[in-house]
Amino acid sequence: MTPPLTLSSLPLFPLGSVLFPDGVLALRVFEVRYLDMVRKCHQAGAPFGVVSLIQGREVRRPGAPQEQFSAIGTLAVIEQLHSPQPGLITMQCRGTQRFQITQRSLLPHGLWVADIGQIDADLPVPVPQDLKKAATALAQILCSLQLRDPDATAAINPTAAQLDDCGWVANRWCELLPVPLELKQRLMELDNPLVRLELVGDVLERTGIAT
């Protein structure tokens, strides 16, 4: 078995959301602990890690409990970065590969870093016939969102190949569905993309979104 690709001292960004591979994430950065990290990642073309919060808040406040976060996250690469004013960065990132934290530490200025092992990407699995309705409904919703706000959804314009890939379809639904953060995290962690889409399909049928 091929050992996982590892990274040392990966900067982490704990958030109250789950980033999925190929997902788009827009961020406004103003905390000192992240401003320098983001600039360095952008200049080097290096990723940072997005992990979902279990305890604590995205913005640190005096006296607040220390952040606790999931051990599995997703690497994010910066695609667009703007600094509209001093002390503020807006950026668009894209999720790439999932990872597992093997060791973490908190730096004096409040930034978390971790040693990680990268998790293999989902194998491409065609969407089975009984789940095609989930892919069709997703295409319709993404088209509707794009018509409503072309700028916000320009980065999500699915190809036929993506709409026939269990992992891709499941991940996009996980981003859209109003389900608890803990459930989104568990779905992201699943190794089998077909099982992930089957579980998403169950939610879609129960809610009447894709019947």
Q: Which of 92, 118, 144 is the last residue of a domain?
A: 118
CA distance 187 to 190: 5
Q: Are residues 48 and 74 in the same domain?
A: yes
- The CATH code of the domain that includes 68 is 2.30.130.40
What does pTM read for this prediction? 0.90
**Tokens describing residue 208:** 């009447």
11 and 83 housed in the same domain: yes
What would the DSSP string read from start to end of 128-161?
Answer: PGGGHHHHHHHHHHHHHHHHH-HHHHTT----HH
Q: What is the pLDDT of residues 77-132, one digit of tens each?
A: 999 999 999 999 999 999 999 999 999 999 998 899 999 999 999 999 999 999 99
CA-CA-CA-CA dihedral for 75, 79, 84, 89, to nearest 10: 10
- Enclosing domain of residue 57: 6-118
| Strand-strand pairing, 68-69 and 48-55 | antiparallel
What pLDDT digit, counting tens, does each position of 6-64 carry? 678 899 999 999 999 999 999 999 999 999 999 999 999 999 999 999 998 878 777 77
Residues 92 and 180 in one domain: no
Q: Is residue 155 part of a domain?
A: yes
> 1 in a domain, yes or no?
no
Q: Which two tokens stand for residue 153?
A: 């959804």
Asked if the structure places residue 21 within a domain, the reply is yes
Of the three residues 66, 92, 118, the one that is the final residue of a domain is 118
Do 63 and 139 belong to one domain? no
> Residue 123 domain-assigned?
no
**Residues 112, 173 within the same domain:** no
Any domain includes 135: yes
The total of structural domains in the chain comes to 2
The three-state secondary structure class of 104 is strand
Rounded alpha-carbon distances, angstroms, from residue 211 to 40, 131, 136: 47, 10, 11
